[in-house]
Amino acid sequence: QVQLVESGGGLVQAGGSLRLSCAASGIIFSINAMGWYRQTPGKQRELVAVISSGGITNYADSAKGRFTISRDNAKNTVYLQMDSLKPEDTAVYYCNIPGHPIYRNYWGQGTQVTVSS
């Protein structure tokens, strides 16, 4: 069974940085694209960043230039480096396997990011 364990969230001031990690198990990590999503109450989960199995990255417009997604296949871990954080970045952040035929709609516990103004 797949496990996605997000960590690294916290409370930071606007302009600060956080580095989120997602450790994955139960999948062949290296062949799967991985994504970071975020959600606030009453809103749909939105894609923040995605990285393909080959390392190609894409970002939401809101994240472009501030966030960097990366992966370490040896550690089965995907990261989201978040710089220049804004209050509107406040959300629960989840990693996901968007292209997986079984687990594309599986979500872990998420990690809370709160950015104060």
User: pLDDT digit string (tens) for 44-77?
Assistant: 999 999 999 999 999 999 999 999 999 999 999 9
pLDDT > 90: what percent of the chain? 97
Residue type, 1: Q
Residue 103 has pLDDT above 90, yes or no: yes
| Kind of pairing between the strands at 77-82 and 67-72 | antiparallel
- C-beta atoms surrounding 108 within 10 Å: 17
Mean pLDDT of 102-113: 96
Question: What integer pLDDT is reported at residue 80 of this predicted model?
Answer: 98
**Is there a contact between 8 and 111 (Cβ–Cβ < 8 Å)?**
yes
Alpha-carbon distance of 88 to 80, in angstroms, equals: 16
Please enumerate in sequence order all residues whose Cβ is within 8 A of that of 75, keeping only pairs 6 or more positions apart, or say none: 23
84: left (phi over 0), alpha (psi -120 to 50) or beta: left
